[in-house]
Structure 1
Amino acid sequence: MGRHSLPDQYGAGGSDPRPRARRRTVALATGLVLTVAGGTAAAVQSGLLSFGDSCQENPVRLKLAASPDLAPALTAAAERARDDDLTSDGRCVAVAVTARDAYKVTDALRAGDRTDVQVWVPDSDLWVQRLKADGGAPKVSPVGKVASTPVGVAMVPAAAKSLGWPKKTYDWIELAGATLQDDSPRLGAADPARSATGLLALTRLSTAASAAEGGQTQAAAMMKALSQRTSDSDGQVLDTLPRDSSGAEQGNPKRNQALIVSEQAAFAHNASADSGGGLDFFHPEDGSPRLDYPYTLVDQGLTTDQSRAAIRFMTYLRQPEQLRLLERHGFRTSDEAVSKKLVEGAGGSTAQPYGEPAAEPASQVALQEALGTWTITVQSARLTTVVDASASMSDTVPGTDRSRMDVTKASLLQALATFTPEDEIGLWDFSTKLDGDRDYRVLVPTERLGDRAGTGTQRERLSAAFSGLTPVPDGATGLYDTTLAAYKAATSSYVKGKFNALVVLTDGVNQDPGSISRAELITQLVRLTNPERPVPLIMIAVGPDADRAEARQIAAVTGGSGHEVSDPSQIHSVILKAIVAAGAQGAR
């Protein structure tokens, strides 16, 4: 294993070859009884004679940063290891444990900050994978798992009872949906950008929703509702519960009656003397994602002695006595045998599917997409949509009796349904000489969907404008001038705190002989692009006459993306996919 080579007595449950301190004490006491010379006994009692140095005088010192929920158990284990004179290559192993949020450690390592820890135990492998994906971050090496705990939904008893706990079970979508009604229990969670618990649950919800009809709209609605009740970290989310079990605060709109948390977090809350009442815990029937606590070496100045001592401590944690310690703190130590006492301590029940296998780990792509969508949902979006209205948009889509424009309009209306009142959306169309000498016109300015616009709202105005899009007879495609004008408008009206983007849909290449060239367009876009005020261009090439390579080339210089769809009905999903990708890029 190179620098991570195995220490002496490696193996789960391996015993320490050195005699323990208390055995030395027994030996000394026996010697004193047999000592004839009274002066020898007096010398020993006064500390003048030495029978060998303790291994504690020259230990291998390790600093271990652990997820705050796991840190108390690891601190207790480190103290036991000291009392047991745990050694690596004849030297004692001295482990100092500190509690650090995983996102803070991740951010520091990604930023290139020097760390003083040699071992890191975050609550989820997703943090390790995020670092590995970042080529500039220090190398991290997972060498095992410490424990696990499933993620579910904990509720105050009155709220759980209203949903039929413990006999009634729910999948993730049903459980989230049951808390989104006006008179339902208020559901809170930790920010998925800072919490593995929040992100794993969000990804599970997003994945499940996307598989259902109208699922993307439902997922966006759930995210928006959940974003109103998020806490900055896992440590803060439990503080949003009512402070006592008397029911006096149940109606307080600032208090949550349901939380997305881990089983261990519910266990620790219920075991706390000042918890103000126990929680009931729902284990979703379609499987729970799990926190898996990877034991990770941080290869930033890690010495060979430290790496061997770190592995020695990891094997110590797998000994039966330490496994029982972890279980007493509410963690699972086996996927096969789950302690009923532990589950009940967390507020679970045999009627809930707590023993089901963990849900399949989410892919990095799914995690990134969920985080990107969340980022956009929380920030809200500001999008200007520019639609090709050239004559070719009247061509019939193969296999249908509808034109490209008809299908495009339907897809845009479907996409519109996924945005919230806080989002800002506008609409342009373009052809050639559509407004005097200009190839484009502004149909609806980019404004907040919830704002009043005439006798209705911006959403209603925009919906009518989408429905009214019509191809221009004999109209050509004035792509380059339109793209430049729209990008200038989008960058000049940039709104801080929102996801700003320009979406251009075209079914052909530029056909305006009097327009700027592609090279000039790209040069101008580069000049307009500002990393401090990002406005990615999302260019969608629709149909066989559009140039996908050109779309990618033009969009790339703004930090955006180019796409091709053969069927305009795919526009809706492509827009969402492109926004998610751009949002995830911004989140990184």
Structure 2
Amino acid sequence: MGRHSLPDEDGTGAPGPRPRARGRTVAIATALVLVVAGGTAVAARSGLLSFGGSCDDDAVRLDVVAAPDVTPALREAADEVRENEITSDGHCIDVRVSARDSFEVAEELRSGKGDPAYDVWVPDSDVWVQRVGLGTKQTKVSPAGNIASSPIGVGMVPTAAESLGWPKKTYAWPELTAAAMKSDELRLGAADPARSATGLLALSKIGASAKKQGGKEGDTQAAALAKALSTRTTDSEGKLLDTLARDGSGTGKGNRNQALIVSEQAAFAHNASAGEENSLDLFYPKDGSPRLDYPYALVDDAGMSTDLSRAALRFMTLFSDEDGERILAKHGFRTDPDQPSDELVTGAGGRTPQPYADEASEPPSDKEIQETLGMWTITVQSARLNTVVDASESMNQLVPGRDQSRMEVTKSSLLQALAGFTDEDQIGLWEFATRLDGKRDYRKLQPTERLGDREGGTTHRDRLSNAFSGLQPVPGGATGLYDTTLAAYKDAQAGYARGKFNALVILTDGANQDPGSISRGSLISQLDELSDPERPVPIIAIAVGPDADKEEVQQIAEASGGSGHQVDDPAQIHAVILKAIMEAGSKQG
């Protein structure tokens, strides 16, 4: 078939900006039922998707963007489409495939900005399709089925695998990762879970299994494993394989890895060119291997012409045919998830009695994915939080069912949240109320500094605790929310700390009450212009009590990529802050 571009090379005919063909919306659901149910032949006989025939001059161009690992297989299939003059409704199909990391495409589609220059997206996992759905202005993505799969396991150089009893000894995920990290003599690497579905799905499974085995201690064990993994992560699975020990002893020189969390397909591709001494043996954990599932998704299908949408579906059906399955298998992918070929498994480094043919573990839910990403963010990255607290007179009101004011309960909850941060975290404090500091509605009480820093015999944590405890409602003070938010956001951006999780936390018990301030529309517009995806500072806005405007704080927070929340009882603040940090961390990736 000739040579094909490597995944990280620019593909021939990589799509550039172009107008999308507009036409009536296709009733795709009918075609999808046929395709997903394995009804390619039915679709062909019905005439919905035509097969073969001479190639007309008016070819339908189909632009596909795909995960780097599956791109070579898609390009080979695209070559066969051209060589065999495969048509859709009498039109030749001109398929152009380019490689892009799935997390990058997911963020682009989630933002909804611009007109994507591609019609089909094939990420390595459905978790990225889920990520797109988190956006409020996202480009519509319509999954049409899955074209391949690949289980995730732990690949080791032969000497390391032998030391753990491969292939006869089997392990659950927590046991296997703990065994691989018990000493520096056996170094385990992984791809960054915020950027890699392989790393994310494995970490989710490790966390779920650790909780199941360890009960209340499971979270601690999962966090410890995440912390250990974080010191040996790379941006992608491709870069991860470059960290592998390369000499026959398996010990390597310097700081190279002897074990990697990888997909079966990645191990297969590596072994095909590595040679016996540098090959990987693959462990398939006995508590279930999560799988990459390669969804085939139409992008903004409502904007497609009939010809384009049918051509997109026609190309997908090729991977249900014998030729398409042959191409996928050649590149190390499973086409029948539960009955892998011996050639594929042995090529990837698997051997009996490793449970490579067991059913895949249940995919994690959206909630579990967010919890995993949040745990990764909090465990791996220290935080830099600018905290802004409402000090208006209404904070004197008693909380129903408590003999305490809103301010007293808020202070207690903030102190409780503070106890959950480490000395490496940076936290500061502002208070706000109308005309609090001259004409300004805000005042800085403590700078945003490292909690463990000492000055004059006391730590910043001590000084911040005292500042929290000293917060008092301002007599006659109203809620000066808008000007304060804008000033605090600019300050948080100016102090942005790369490599940390940066956020602005705002607590308020009411809507803006400063008639001389900027308008809500102006605030949202300025926040939208100031927000920088390269230096993200999401606002976590918490409306406290029944008088607060949840819709208002949501609009303000979402303009920065953050989130708005409402609590009836200020005692819930600490839990909401931690949850919001995890959610914001999962979106940043």
State whether TM-score is above 0.5.
yes
How does 1:423-438 map onto structure 2 within 5 Å? 423-426=425-428
Counterpart in the other structure of 1:359: 361
Give CA-to-partner distance per residue, 1:541-585, whole Å, 9 cap, x none. 78xxx44735775676355534426584x5543221021234445
Counterpart in the other structure of 2:269: 268
Give CA-to-partner distance per residue, 1:348-401, whole Å, 9 cap, x none. 343433333223233334434544565566664212457899999999989xxx
Counterpart in the other structure of 2:49: none
The answer (yes or no) to whether the contact 1:392–1:471 under 8 Å persists in 2 is: no
1:300 is displaced (CA, Å) by 8.2
Gaps of 5+ in 2: 1-24, 46-51
Counterpart in the other structure of 1:239: 242
1:139 is displaced (CA, Å) by 4.5
Give CA-to-partner distance per residue, 1:84-141, whole Å, 9 cap, x none. 55444456556454444334544555442452x4443222233344446657555443
How does 1:180-329 map onto structure 2 within 5 Å? 183=184, 185-205=186-206, 212-213=215-216, 222-247=225-250, 249-250=252-253, 252-253=254-255, 255-273=256-274, 277-298=278-299, 299=301, 302-329=304-331
CA distance in 2, matches of 1:326, 1:82: 18
1:483 is displaced (CA, Å) by 11
Counterpart in the other structure of 2:66: 66
Which region of structure 1 is more displaced relative to structure 2, 263-272 or 529-538?
A: 529-538
The answer (yes or no) to whether the contact 2:482–2:519 under 8 Å persists in 1 is: no
Which region of structure 1 is more displaced relative to structure 2, 184-193 or 570-579?
A: 184-193
Give the structure-1-normalised TM-score.
0.69
Q: Equivalent pairs: percent with the same residue?
A: 47
Counterpart in the other structure of 2:3: none
SS of equivalent to 1:415: coil
The answer (yes or no) to whether the contact 2:478–2:514 under 8 Å persists in 1 is: no
Counterpart in the other structure of 1:331: 333
1:263 is displaced (CA, Å) by 1.3
CA distance in 1, matches of 2:546, 2:476: 12
Please state if 1:462 is matched with 2:461: yes
Give the structure-2-normalised TM-score.
0.69
The residue type equivalent to 1:67 in the other structure is A
SS of equivalent to 2:242: helix
1:315 is displaced (CA, Å) by 2.9
Alpha carbons of structure 1 residues 278 and 541: separation in structure 2 relative to 1, 3 Å:
same
CA distance in 1, matches of 2:482, 2:139: 41
Counterpart in the other structure of 1:31: none
The residue type equivalent to 1:71 in the other structure is T
Alpha carbon RMSD of aligned pairs, Å? 5.3
1:267 is displaced (CA, Å) by 1.3
How does 1:10-25 map onto structure 2 within 5 Å? 11-12=39-40
Counterpart in the other structure of 1:411: 416
1:148 is displaced (CA, Å) by 0.7
Give CA-to-partner distance per residue, 1:178-223, whole Å, 9 cap, x none. 4555626333333344333233334444556677536656555554
Gaps of 5+ in 1: 18-52, 511-515
CA distance in 2, matches of 1:310, 1:409: 53
SS of equivalent to 1:183: coil
CA distance in 2, matches of 1:105, 1:486: 31
CA distance in 1, matches of 2:229, 2:387: 27
Counterpart in the other structure of 1:145: 146
1:293 is displaced (CA, Å) by 1.4
CA distance in 1, matches of 2:396, 2:414: 15
How many residues are aligned here?
528
The residue type equivalent to 1:350 in the other structure is T
The answer (yes or no) to whether the contact 2:53–2:90 under 8 Å persists in 1 is: no
SS of equivalent to 2:328: helix
1:416 is displaced (CA, Å) by 1.8
1:424 is displaced (CA, Å) by 1.0
CA distance in 2, matches of 1:372, 1:169: 30
The answer (yes or no) to whether the contact 1:397–1:404 under 8 Å persists in 2 is: no
The residue type equivalent to 1:575 in the other structure is I
